[in-house]
């Protein structure tokens, strides 16, 4: 029997280890966000919702339902199922949580078992046999908080990975919404071009009739045909643009483009460029509702904890071990072996000279923390800028659309007047062509501005975090308030 230490000494050492296990060398986190304005410069925060259902949709992250488009709702439901980028992000979450469990295992003792059997033959000697078994347990108490800080750091990384998943989902949803609205705008322009082409065909017949009657030159028919062909080419370009948007949607929902066909919106289902009310929360709330910003905040927390892990290397490691074993001629005899061997030990290890490696690791951890803080602050500033950009865009687009509609109405009236004057022989056909081009450009501009406004609303939703909020965000908010 082996007694490297007396039982009272081992118990005293273990008690001391337990008392010191709460020690940690992690500095207090002081990564404050940049100075936050009290409100947005472009608009005051939205007060309330038009309905409780809208509020529930936003809180659940189902912001696209605010656009009240059943086709879009159906496509969004397929993002979580088929999008492969989300599958990667989800796998990263699972990996981070598995690493967290791996770090948590450091709190517990390890138990190992081994068994062996040997058979030996020597010249002119009888055959010898032996068998042995051992059971060994070891435990390293977390004296200086090394394991605790590593566990907390990995927990922060697991939270960051969940925020990254939410950010990837929001990005995929916003990209899908923008592609869908671009597709619907192409449908609307195609319908407009269809009407325009019908009008150009009538103008071409008028020019041909006047030429046949000898009251108009041949160039009028050529100009009419040129205008008609350009419009037909524009319709084909719109068809191509629509197809590309449909292909992008197919990729986002994890389908081959050939397997997705979105019916054109016509009649009562035609695209109207609807923009819902979106709550522009205060800047202070933005930092917790943006999953990408929240992820970087968790990265700061992990980097801060790694400083404590690096500093704990200056102190000795402490471990307790116990081994129980038995030997016998045969494996079957081990259970009844007359002698059991056991040992119990305490060990301390301390690095004395390392050429400054530990100090360098601490400095590296501190520099990594400074970089994480800078990335977090930059992301916060970028988030605020993105919200301000979209609030400004929405405010100016509303006015711009009103002016563009008035211009389109005026251009349409001018086009009709020049066509009437041409039929009466009071103007040249070049004036009709110019008026037609201006009217078409003005009417297409209105549709394109409606698309820009709708996509600005989607980008604002993304800039605000899409209503996302994790369960651990409330704790962050409470900690932030306690530091003020």
Give the pLDDT of residue 4.
41
In this predicted structure, the answer to whether residue 2 has a pLDDT above a threshold of 50 is no
In this predicted structure, the answer to whether residue 43 has a pLDDT above a threshold of 70 is no
Whether pTM > 0.75 for this model: the answer is yes
Give the pLDDT of residue 179.
96
Per the model's pLDDT, the better-predicted residue between 317 and 358 turns out to be 358
CB count within 10 Å of CB 135 equals: 15
Are 57 and 66 a contacting pair, CB within 8 Å? yes
Least Cα distance to 89 among 170, 159, 169, 173 occurs for 169
Whether domain 34-102+152-313+357-483 has CATH 3.40.50.300: no
Rounded to 5 degrees, what angle do the CA atoms 148, 150, 154 make? 120
**Could you tell me the pLDDT band of residue 35, with boundaries at 50, 70 and 90?**
confident
Domain boundaries, the chain: 34-102+152-313+357-483
Question: pLDDT digit string (tens) for 375-416?
Answer: 999 999 999 999 999 999 998 999 999 999 999 999 999 999
For residue 452, give the 3-state DSSP assignment: helix
Give the pLDDT of residue 48.
53
Q: Across residues 248-275, what is the average pLDDT?
A: 85
CB count within 10 Å of CB 97 equals: 17
Question: pLDDT digit string (tens) for 206-228?
Answer: 999 989 988 889 999 999 999 99
d(CA 68, CA 51): 13
Are 287 and 297 a contacting pair, CB within 8 Å? yes
In this predicted structure, the answer to whether residue 171 has a pLDDT above a threshold of 50 is yes
For residue 110, give the 3-state DSSP assignment: strand
N-to-C CA span, the chain: 61
For CA atoms 214, 217, 219, 225, the dihedral sign is: negative
> Is residue 330 left, alpha or beta, with left meaning phi > 0 and alpha meaning psi from -120 to 50?
beta
In this predicted structure, the answer to whether residue 261 has a pLDDT above a threshold of 50 is yes
Give the pLDDT of residue 41.
79
What burial letters (b/e) apply to 292-305, b meaning 16+ CB within 10 Å? bbbbbbbbbbbbbb
């Amino acid at each position: 029997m082996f007694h490297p230490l007396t039982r009272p000494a081992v118990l005293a050492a273990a008690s001391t280890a337990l008392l010191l296990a709460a020690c940690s060398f992690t500095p207090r986190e002081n990564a404050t966000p940049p100075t936050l304005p009290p409100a947005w410069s472009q608009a005051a925060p939205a007060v309330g919702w038009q309905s409780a259902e809208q509020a529930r949709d936003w809180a659940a992250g189902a912001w696209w339902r605010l656009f009240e488009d059943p086709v879009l709702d159906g496509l969004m439901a397929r993002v979580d199922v088929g999008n492969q980028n989300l599958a990667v992000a989800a796998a990263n979450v699972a990996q981070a949580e598995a690493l967290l469990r791996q770090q948590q295992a450091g709190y517990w003792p390890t138990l190992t078992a081994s068994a062996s059997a040997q058979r030996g033959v020597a010249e002119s000697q009888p055959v010898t046999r032996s068998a042995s078994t051992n059971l060994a347990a070891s435990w390293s108490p977390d004296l200086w908080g090394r394991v605790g800080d590593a566990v907390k750091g990995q927990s922060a990384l697991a939270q960051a990975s969940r925020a990254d998943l939410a950010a990837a989902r929001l990005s995929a949803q916003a990209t899908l919404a923008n592609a869908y609205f671009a597709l619907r705008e192409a449908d609307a322009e195609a319908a407009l071009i269809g009407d325009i082409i019908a009008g150009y065909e009538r103008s071409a017949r008028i020019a041909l009739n006047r030429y046949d009657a000898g009251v108009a030159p041949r160039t009028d028919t050529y100009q009419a045909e040129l205008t008609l062909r350009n419009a037909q080419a524009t319709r084909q370009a719109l068809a191509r643009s629509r197809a590309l948007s449909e292909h992008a949607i197919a990729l986002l929902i994890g389908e081959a483009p050939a397997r997705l066909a979105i019916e054109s919106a016509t009649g009562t289902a035609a695209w109207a460029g609807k923009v819902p009310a979106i709550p522009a929360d205060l800047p202070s709330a933005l930092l917790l509702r943006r999953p990408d910003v929240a992820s970087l905040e968790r990265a700061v927390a992990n980097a801060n904890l790694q400083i404590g892990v690096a500093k704990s290397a200056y102190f000795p490691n402490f471990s307790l071990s116990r081994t129980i074993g038995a030997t016998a001629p045969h494996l079957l005899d081990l259970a009844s072996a007359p002698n059991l061997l056991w040992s119990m030990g305490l060990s301390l290890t301390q690095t004395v000279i390392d050429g400054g490696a530990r100090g360098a690791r601490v400095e590296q951890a501190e520099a990594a923390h400074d970089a994480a803080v800078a990335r977090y602050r930059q992301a916060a500033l970028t988030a605020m800028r993105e919200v301000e950009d979209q609030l400004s865009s929405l405010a100016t687009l509303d006015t711009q659309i009103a002016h563009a509609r008035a211009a389109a109405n005026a251009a349409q009236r001018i086009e009709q007047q020049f066509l009437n004057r041409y039929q009466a022989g009071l103007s040249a056909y070049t004036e009709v062509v110019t008026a037609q081009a201006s009217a078409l450009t003005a009417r297409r501009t209105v549709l394109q501005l409606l698309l820009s406004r709708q996509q600005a609303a989607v980008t604002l939703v993304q800039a605000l975090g899409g209503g996302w909020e994790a369960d651990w965000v409330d704790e962050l908010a409470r900690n932030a308030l306690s530091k003020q």
